[in-house]
Structure 1
Amino acid sequence: MDLKKIDAPTSTTTYNRNAIDEETGNIYESISIISKRAEQINSEIKKELIEKLEEFATYNDSLEEIFENKEQIEVSKFYERLPKPHALAVKEWLDNKVYYRDTEADNQ
């Protein structure tokens, strides 16, 4: 996922209910799919952030030697400014970029 090319809103946005449930015909099913995608996005972002912060990690036994690392602060600020995972998931859903399947229909 390229986080620099994301155009999802960073603040609260009202969406058209009909656009959300257009794909499935059921608002609850659509929201369930979006929430599962948001969890996936959140874990991807968290994993990426931890990997980047590990580059700056210093392992000291002394608590007195705490110092600020400017690069680490910049990385953290970048991730704080990103849209929330649920906003990214809704944007992907509305752009038809989320793959899902109905397992109940597959079994019949």
Structure 2
Amino acid sequence: MDYKETKAPVSTITYDKEAIEAPTNNIYEAISIIARRANQINGDLKKELLDKLDEFATYNDSLEEVFENKEQIEVSKFYEKLPKATAIAIEEWLAGKVYYRTPEAE
């Protein structure tokens, strides 16, 4: 999924409790599902960032030479400006894009 095109807010906002708990009728279950999705998103973003930063890695034993790579700094700044994983997960939840199931009901 492309998390860079999300409409999630970058800053903290207040959400409607009833809108969040509506799909499950249980706020705690909804928050648990959102938290698991946020962990998945965070893992995906971290893996993507590390893959991009590996392109700039220099395998040198010398600690004397530290190069500042402008492209590496730009990549890092871009990922820092993205919305937090929890904000993305909440937006997906409210849009109905998160699939969940309860094993007890099946």
Could you tell me which amino acid in structure 2 is paired with residue 20 of structure 1? I
Could you tell me which amino acid in structure 1 is paired with residue 33 of structure 2? I
Identity of paired residues, percent?
Answer: 67
Query: What corresponds to 1:49 in structure 2?
Result: 49
Could you tell me which amino acid in structure 2 is paired with residue 39 of structure 1? N
Matched residue count = 106
SS in 1 for 2:63: coil
Gaps spanning 5+ residues in structure 1: where?
Answer: none
Q: Give the root-mean-square deviation of aligned CA atoms.
A: 0.6
1:5-24 superposed matches below 5 A? 5-24=5-24
Deviation at residue 2 of structure 1 after TM alignment: 1.3
1:27-42 superposed matches below 5 A? 27-42=27-42
Could you tell me which amino acid in structure 1 is paired with residue 91 of structure 2? K
TM-score with structure 2 length normalisation?
Answer: 0.98
Moved over 2 A (4+): none
Deviation digits for residues 44-73 of structure 1 (CA, Å, limit 9, x no counterpart): 000000000000101111101101000000
Deviation at residue 30 of structure 1 after TM alignment: 0.2
Query: What corresponds to 1:58 in structure 2?
Result: 58
Could you tell me which amino acid in structure 2 is paired with residue 32 of structure 1? S
Q: What CA distance in whole angstroms lies between the structure 2 residues aligned with 1:102 and 1:81?
A: 35
Matched, 1:102 2:102: yes
Query: What corresponds to 1:67 in structure 2?
Result: 67
Deviation at residue 75 of structure 1 after TM alignment: 0.3
Q: What CA distance in whole angstroms lies between the structure 2 residues aligned with 1:3 and 1:64?
A: 37
Gaps spanning 5+ residues in structure 2: where?
Answer: none
